[in-house]
Amino acid sequence: MEPITDTVFNFSAGPAALPKAVMQQAQQELLNWHNLGTSVMEISHRSKEFIAVAEQAEQDLRDLLAIPNNYKVLFCHGGARAQFAAIPQNLLGEATTATYIDGGFWAASAVDEARKYCEPSVQQVKTEIDGKVAILPASEWAIAPESAFVHFCPNETIDGLEINDLPETDKPIIADMSSTILSREIDVSKYGMIYAGAQKNIGPAGIVIVIVREDLLGYAHQTVPSILDYTVLAKQDSMFNTPPTFAWYLSGLVFKWLKAQGGVKAIEQRNREKAALLYDFIDDSDFYRNQVHPQNRSLMNVPFQLAKPELDALFLEQADAAGLKALKGHRVVGGMRASIYNAMPLEGVQALVDFMRQFERENA
């Protein structure tokens, strides 16, 4: 077996790093899970052994987020993009519009897909405060009265932009929490539905979690594919067809790990420390900058630019050589981006700050 380089910290925006302890357990039991002599990915999803995995994962997620009993938890195929289509097809009912809050790339992508099924009422909320990118307060969002629901994305991974408040409305609020789920405490009861692709804070790519209030079920359009029909999935405990079992199992290991870390409250505190360490360093420097107003800065994705963009390539090359991986910004915006999800330890952020300080000293 090749040696593990202990000093590698992976800042990938997604698919992202998973907790090392989880990966070690997965490796240890990959060929012989629960002494069955096979891998967990080689057994029937309807076996009692796998059903125990599935049920435990759901229970642990319910515990972690204090999900009320009147919400279903679904483990689905297709990634969050599939939900962009599933949401209008499941939740519009007779309505012909829904309000889509547009704070960036992902929110806008959800709008594009929704146009296949309705005429979304789109509310642009990106603004500027003191020359920095910011988001309009939720109290100022215009919500179309005939909306079936209000959709938003609380964290835009590309811009590193976060929405921290919720509108007062009687419409169900639907949140794409792909990049923030389990990173902080939330009050699930304020949402009609929460969904999250796994590959940032939950597990490997290829599974998406849907938490949906039961009274919203039963209104699916006739043409929604069954694998995206929440009512079908809820009735069949997310096993209408063969689910992505290995991804489900790994997600369950991450939930267990998170509980062992002290749960969401404890990880939130650590996430705030990590983000503060990095943002404070950037703000104290003239060599690095972040363009987002402090009130809307993401806890999970920290984009930053060099004062001398001509040094970008050198920065990335030297960072990589120092074991600080995947720091390149999204191709749409360029620059750098450090994604610091739950699995990133404080030492990883500290190592990044140390490297940035050194790089500044050598290149300022």
Active site residue 141: no
Answer yes or no whether residue 131 interacts with a second copy by CB under 8 A: no
Query: What does DSSP assign to residue 352?
Result: H
Q: How far is the CB of 111 from a second copy (least distance, A)?
A: 13
# chain residues binding a second copy, by CB under 8 A: 72
Q: Do residues 212 and 228 touch, judged by C-beta distance below 8 A?
A: no
∠ Cα 205 302 299 (to 5°) = 80
Annotated binding-site residue? 242: yes
Nearest to 171 by CA among 142, 149, 151: 149
The whole-angstrom distance between residue 61's C-alpha and the CA centroid of its chain comes to: 15
**Of 5, 69, 70, 139, which lies in the binding site for a second copy, with binding defined by CB under 8 A?**
5
Where in 230-269 is the site for a second copy (CB under 8 A)?
A: 240-247
Residue length of the chain: 364
Token representation of residue 166: 């919720």
Catalytic residue among 102, 159, 176, 229: 176
Q: How far is the CB of 5 from a second copy (least distance, A)?
A: 4
- 357 C-beta neighbours (distance < 10 Å), count: 15
Answer yes or no whether residue 97 interacts with a second copy by CB under 8 A: no
Where in 69-88 is the site for a second copy (CB under 8 A)?
A: 77-82, 84-86
Q: How many CA atoms lie within 13 A of 102 on its CB side?
A: 13
Annotated binding-site residue? 80: yes
∠ Cα 54 57 58 (to 5°) = 90
**Of 107, 136, 161, 207, which lies in the binding site for a second copy, with binding defined by CB under 8 A?**
207
Stretch that binds a second copy, among 39-47, 154-162, 345-353, 355-363 (CB under 8 A): 39-47
Answer yes or no whether residue 52 interacts with a second copy by CB under 8 A: no
Where in 17-36 is the site for a second copy (CB under 8 A)?
A: 17-18, 20, 23-24, 26-32, 35-36
Q: How far is the CB of 224 from a second copy (least distance, A)?
A: 8
Active site residue 257: no
For residue 328, the cross-strand partners are 336
Q: Do residues 55 and 182 touch, judged by C-beta distance below 8 A?
A: no
Q: List active site positions.
A: 106, 176, 200
In the annotated binding site for L-glutamate, the residues are: 46
